[in-house]
Amino acid sequence: MTATVPTGADQRRGPLRAGERVQLTDVKGRPHTITLSAGAAFHTHRGLIAHDDLIGSDEGVVVSTTAGVQYLAMRPLLADHVMSMPRGAAVVYPKDAGQIVTMADIYPGARVVEAGVGSGALTLSLLRAVGDGGSLLSVERRDDFAAIARANVEQFFGGPHPAWTLQLGDVADALTALGPASVDRVVLDMLAPWENLAAAAAALAPGGVLLAYVATTTQLSRLAEDVRSDGRYTEPTAWESMVRGWHLEGLAVRPEHRMIGHTGFLLTTRRLADGVTPPLRRRRPSKGAYPTDDAAWSPEELGEAPVSDKKVRRVRRDLETGTDAD
């Protein structure tokens, strides 16, 4: 059946409609996301719920299966949709998407370029932030990922978003085609974001923000140093966020046993005006912080105190003689 969900703000208002997604939560707090369709049913091991019982009803109602098991029906929030939607590539978690929107200062009307669309999770948050009057150009190299992202975005918004353009290809080519100082924000979620620093600098307006999402410390280190070497960006800032839920039951208020730990690192920097030399860093790196071109990695270069041969010999001797080491 063809979806009849309206687009825009009206999509989130009014009675539940055929074609839109609804989240059913059981008494244990377990969510189940379904797409409403006339004549269909949601089957559980304890009965079923007819979709027709939900279509036309208000959001926030309680419905029961044929066996009397109750479910709360709500439209899924953006975070709910992201965690339940089909995915090809790994998604940017809501905790990181929220940080990206805030720390990259994505605002209504902003001109934003996003590279590495994946399954479209971050795209949803960026479109929410720029609004109908802004523009988001999403660039993805893989056509299969792009197809999944398009379906997820259009399903959430009820159709094509007026501010969104999805393009296959290389982000450097896309940024170059836009022209100089034509972009307010660039968000990079890719394996080697440092390869696009020059193209991003050319496209960003002075004061524009570049934000990159990387998974490992190796990527983070390489990106930070290349940002500094480029000379057109401010001193980069990097961080990660972790989320720990809390158990709330009467006086038994305590942290949950599980938490959302490391998912990725975020790095932000801003575009300097043309011809401006960035100020020197106030704190110089310690000796050995950077390897020479022909040097291999060593404990000193990684910030660790080297272990002397003398200490190694002493520890080995103590182990062989059964003597407790100091």
| CATH number of residue 63's parent domain | 3.10.330.20
Q: Is residue 22 part of a domain?
A: yes
Q: Are residues 101 and 240 in the same domain?
A: yes
Distance CA 94, CA 125 (A): 9
**What would the mean pLDDT of 294-306 be, rounded to a whole number?**
49
Are 36 and 112 within one domain? no
Q: What is the pLDDT of residues 127-149, one digit of tens each?
A: 999 999 999 999 999 999 899 99
Look at 22-31, 145-154, 295-304 and tell me which has the smallest mean pLDDT. 295-304
**pLDDT score of 195:** 95
Q: How many Å apart are CA 206 and CA 201, to the nearest integer?
A: 9
Same domain (yes/no): 139, 17:
no
Domain membership flag for residue 275: no
48 and 92 co-located in one domain: no
Query: What value does the mean pLDDT of the chain take?
Result: 85
Reported as a single tens digit per residue, the pLDDT across 190-208 is: 999 999 999 999 999 999 9
Over range 215-226, report the average pLDDT: 94
Which of 40, 55, 76 is where one domain is finished?
Answer: 76
Closest CA to 106 of 27, 213, 186, 5: 186
Cβ neighbours of residue 278 closer than 8 Å, sequence gap 6 or more = 231, 233, 234, 235, 272
Q: Are residues 262 and 306 in the same domain?
A: no
Same domain, 199 and 52: no
Residue 182's pLDDT is what?
A: 96
pLDDT tens track for 113-126: 999 898 899 999 99
Same domain, 171 and 136: yes
Q: How far apart are CA 175 and CA 167, in angstroms?
A: 12
Between 6 and 160, residue with greater pLDDT? 160
**Band of pLDDT at residue 176, cut at 50, 70 and 90:** very high
Q: Which residues pair with 186 in a beta bridge?
A: 113, 210
For residue 305, being part of any structural domain is answered with yes
Specify if 166 maps to a domain.
yes
Query: Does residue 166 sit in the same domain as residue 302?
Result: no
d(CA 145, CA 122): 13
Q: Mean pLDDT, to the nearest integer, of 91-115?
A: 94
Answer yes or no: do 13 and 61 share one domain: yes
Residue where a domain terminates, one of 33, 48, 76: 76
Pair (128, 52) in one structural domain: no
pLDDT above 80: residue 299: no
CATH code for the domain in which residue 201 is found: 3.40.50.150
Q: How many CB atoms lie within 10 A of CB 150?
A: 18
Q: Is residue 287 part of a domain?
A: no
Residues 60 and 139 grouped into a single domain: no
* Look-up of token digits 């939900």: 54
What is the distance of C-alpha 219 from the center of its chain?
Answer: 16
Domain extent, residue 314, equals: 296-326
Looking at the chain, the whole-number percentage of residues with pLDDT higher than 90 is: 58
- 172 shares its domain with 204: yes
Confidence of residue 112 (pLDDT cuts 50, 70, 90): very high
- The count of domains in the chain is 3
pLDDT digits (tens, 9 = 90+) for 246-277: 988 898 899 988 877 788 899 999 999 998 88
Torsion of CA 191, 240, 92, 262, to 10 degrees: 90
Say yes or no to pLDDT of 4 above 60: no
pTM value? 0.78
Is there a domain that residue 235 lies in? yes
Boundary residue ending a domain (22, 50, 76): 76
Q: Are 318 and 324 in contact (CB under 8 A)?
A: yes
What does the pLDDT read at residue 261? 78
pLDDT digits (tens, 9 = 90+) for 65-99: 999 999 999 999 998 888 888 877 788 989 999 99
Is the residue at 118 inside a domain?
A: yes
Residue 243 lies in a domain: yes
User: In the chain, pLDDT over 70 holds for what percent of residues?
Assistant: 83
